[in-house]
Structure 1
Amino acid sequence: MTPIAGRSLRSILFLLALAAIGLTLGGWAIGEIMRLQPCPLCIFQRLLFLLIALLALTGALLPAASRVSGILVAVVAAGGVATAAYQSWLQYQPQAGMDCGFGEPTFIERLVDWFGALWPQMFLATGFCSSKDWVLLGLSLANWSALCFIGFLAAAVLILRRRGD
């Protein structure tokens, strides 16, 4: 029996929303305390965590939408895994890839710039994606982010596999 099996779908979605908000605030706090400069991919991952929180909260508050919410959480989490994996690759092979911020702005960079103009303390990107300024247990923030997105993806898959709730 998995830990998810004994809980209601609403409580699981609510816990996912809280976890995503907690990760967003935790990443922001680490950046502020350590004086780290977040890059466009860091900020984009922050936005993806907030989107997961919004989708999970929607599913928790509107039980009829919980299945669609689970599907969308899985899709966003998969996008987060891809984003964090790409940033991890940039960090481990900086000479092999193009760093963000050079050349014509991508959709992600434009989106991040827009949010940065709205709320600079939370979303202003000033760093380089290939920088690995903070490491814990041998893993960068991008690596930790990828693991968290994998966790959200796994939880969404388990939610979708549940029968009636």
Structure 2
Amino acid sequence: MKSSKLLLLSVAVICIALLGVALYLQIVEEMLPCPLCIIQRYFFVAIAIICIIFAFLPAESARTGAGLGLLGALGGIATAGWHLWVQAHPGTSCGIDPLETSLNTIPTANLFPMLFKADGLCATPYPFLGLSIPQWSLIWFAIIAILLARRVFKRG
């Protein structure tokens, strides 16, 4: 069961590191996050919090924590997939729309505006190491989903 706790903590560290990269890109590279980017950040935060909590609960609850984290990763996959669809169809945008307005009124957007305030346009394809940001998010959500699914469906 130690491996389950290590897995959950490792996933949490990955999510926190990815949020750090997102802040670097936003602050240093001046890549403004769009509403779909912010939703993906919320999924990374949720996965990290779930994994940290369940890593410190009794070992029997690791499967439940991995399952909840897996649901978060699947939500992130869906959001990143939608983001890629928006980028592939330039006429579609989630720019200044009700989604951005509602996201920017959530208390976390006011408490941590650097992390959760949407200012960018979803159709802007910011490249980073050869891929767009939602492509990177999709890859990482898929990796996290696979890691957590292995724990959920592991016997014993």
TM over 0.5: yes
Structure 1 residue aligned with 2:127: 134
Contact (CA 8 Å) 2:64, 2:152: kept in 1 or not? no
Q: CA deviation at 1:160?
A: 1.0
Kept after mapping to 1: 8 A contact 2:16/2:48: yes
Indicate yes or no: 2:109 matched with 1:116: yes
1:23 equivalent among 18, 36, 40: 18
Kindly state the Cα deviation for residue 119 of structure 1 after the two structures are TM-superposed: 1.3
The number of equivalent residue pairs is: 154
Aligned to 1:3: none
Structure 2 Cα separation of the partners of residues 65 and 154 of structure 1: 19
Residues 26-65 of structure 1 mapped to structure 2, 5 A cutoff: 26-62=21-57, 63-65=59-61
For normalisation by structure 2, the TM-score amounts to: 0.90
Distance 2:94 2:152 in 1: 36
1:92 aligns with 2:88: yes
User: Which among 64, 67, 76 is matched to residue 63 of structure 2?
Assistant: 67
How far the C-alpha of 1:158 sits from its partner, in A, is 0.4
Please provide the CA RMSD for this pair.
1.9
Structure 2 match to 1:155: 147
Mean Cα deviation higher: 33-42 or 56-65: 56-65
Q: Unaligned regions of 5+ residues in structure 1, if any?
A: 1-6
Q: Alpha-carbon deviation of 1:65?
A: 2.2
Question: Hey, what's the Cα distance between the residues in 2 that align with 1:83 and 1:93?
Answer: 15
* Identical residues among aligned pairs (%): 29
Spell out structure 1 runs of 4+ moving beyond 3 A: none
| Cα distance in structure 1, aligned partners of 2:70 and 2:7 | 14
